[in-house]
Structures are given as structure tokens and as C-alpha cells.
Amino acid sequence: MLGAGNVATHLANALQLAGYHIVQVYSRKESSASTLASKLNTRFTIYLSDIDVQADYYFYCLSDNALEFVIQNFKADSGIHIHTAGTISMEVFNNYKTNYGVFYPLQTFSIQKKVNFDMLPVFIEANNAENLIELDTIAKRISADVIEISSIERMKLHVAAVFACNFTNHLFEISSEILSDTRIPFKVLLPLINETTAKLKVLSPHEAQTGPAVRLDFNVMQKHLDSLSSETEKQFIYQILSDSIIKKHQVKDA
């Protein structure tokens, strides 16, 4: 396991639970490497030259910046070399390794919170059919939803996930800030938020759209903007997203 951050920790745990032996943890940061290695009850190293070259699989759960450097400087070419990055092409391994692929679990990992792998999709890609079968076998031991996609599709998926997850969470933060000068706790919004996501099981996001923008209720929108008058950035985001909703629904529903 190359890397000892959020993805490395959750993936290594899931692989171990599925019966795989994690031979060794590598991280250039000793505290991270030793923390993960002790959780997994295995060895660790902070040197690329000390990585065990007898492993069957090398998982690179590294920041995008570090990935290429590590691939080039970890010289061994036995086993299958697999990265877990959403936006890096599989061909980053080309010229350096013989057997390689990508293993991309679609999830938002926070160190503080456990994640069940079995319900989350894993997207795989490999440089040949045999390696694809190997990755498929591993993925199916930790997830019920394994899908083969290309590097280009994975990039689209990653962008889509940023909108659906990272940006959505940021809107929750803005929402909690708006409530912070009232006596209303943010948690009152949780049933509404849950219903918003529950709707997606039965309606498309387009069909599920509600609110003043899709109703073209300019009076309400103006009142909302006025009530945000001391917060120019929130006003700006309110306007941009309302305009975008209006445009999308005018065009499609026309």
C-alpha cells in the first residue's frame, strides 16, 4: 500500500477485511506510515528503495502530485501496479510498468468516519484483459457494484462527483452560516436534505427541482437577495445558481 492517507486507510482496511494480506505500508511521512501499519498489524517503510518487491499488487493511493514521481522512482516492475486517482490517466504507468490499472472507489473519505465499501461502486480499468480480470476479482470481493470505464469517462465521473458531493457540501456550509445568526440549529434542515436526496431514487434531478427559481418567483428571489444584503458572496452564488436553474428549465421545458 503506497500512501497512508484517507483513501489508503479505507481501502487497506477493506482489502484486509476481504481476506487480503497487506504486505507493507509506504509513506514518506513516518507518522502516517506507522499509524496505518499498526492499524493493519503490518510493516512500514518511508523509503521507496525498501518497498517489498514480492507483492502481487501495488496500490498507489497518493496525491496526484506525488503519483508520477513515485511511479518513476519505485523501480520494481513485478506485480500489478494500480492507482486510485480520479483524474489521472491509466497511462501514467506506461513506460514504467508492464502490468497496470486503475481502481477508483467512488466515495468521499474522511479519516474520522467509517465507510462501508460493499454498497459503493468501484470503477476499474487495466492495460490488458488478464489484468482487468484480476482487478475485477479484487473489486468484487469488496464491492457489489464494479464497473469498467475508460480514463476519459473516469475524469467525467470525477467532475460529476465534485458537483454532486463537494459543491453540495459547500452549499450546506453556506446554509449553516445563514442560520448561524438565528436560534435555529442547522440540524432542522436534515429532513429536508434527506428528502432532497431520497427524491433522486424516483425522480430525475430535473423533475425533482423545486424552489423560487424554477417557479420564476422573482419576488421571493428578490427578498432572499435582500436578506443576504450584507453577504455579497452568498448573494452572488444565489444569483448564479438561480439563473442557471431558470435557463435549464426554460430551454428543456419549452
- Of 109-148, which residues contact a second copy (CB under 8 A)? 109-110, 112-113, 115, 119-121, 145, 147
Look at strands 100-105 and 80-83 and give their pairing.
parallel
Please state, in angstroms and rounded to a whole number, the distance separating the CA atoms of residues 170 and 56: 40
* 31-90 residues near a second copy, rule: CB under 8 A: 63-65, 86-87
141 vs 199, beta carbon nearer a second copy? 199
200 binds a second copy (CB under 8 A): yes
130 vs 145, beta carbon nearer a second copy? 145
Using CB under 8 A, which of the segments 23-31, 46-54, 71-79, 221-229 binds a second copy? 221-229
Please state, in angstroms and rounded to a whole number, the distance separating the CA atoms of residues 92 and 114: 30
Q: How many CA atoms lie within 13 A of 48 on its CB side?
A: 11
Using CB under 8 A, which of the segments 49-57, 72-80, 133-141, 188-196 binds a second copy? 188-196
Counting every residue written for the chain, the total comes to 254
Could you say which of 192, 229, 232, 253 contacts a second copy (CB under 8 A)? 192
53 vs 160, beta carbon nearer a second copy? 160
Please state, in angstroms and rounded to a whole number, the distance separating the CA atoms of residues 86 and 89: 8
Residues 6+ apart with CB under 8 A from 86: 104, 154, 155, 157, 158, 161
Count residues near a second copy (CB under 8 A).
95
140 vs 248, beta carbon nearer a second copy? 248
Which helix (H) or strand (E) covers residue 16, if one does? helix 6-17
Written as nine digits, the cell of 44 is 512500514
Q: How far is the CB of 89 from a second copy (least distance, A)?
A: 10
Written as nine digits, the cell of 42 is 503490518
Please state, in angstroms and rounded to a whole number, the distance separating the CA atoms of residues 126 and 147: 12
Could you say which of 95, 163, 251, 254 contacts a second copy (CB under 8 A)? 163
**Which residue matches cell numbers 476481504?**
18
Q: How far is the CB of 49 from a second copy (least distance, A)?
A: 27
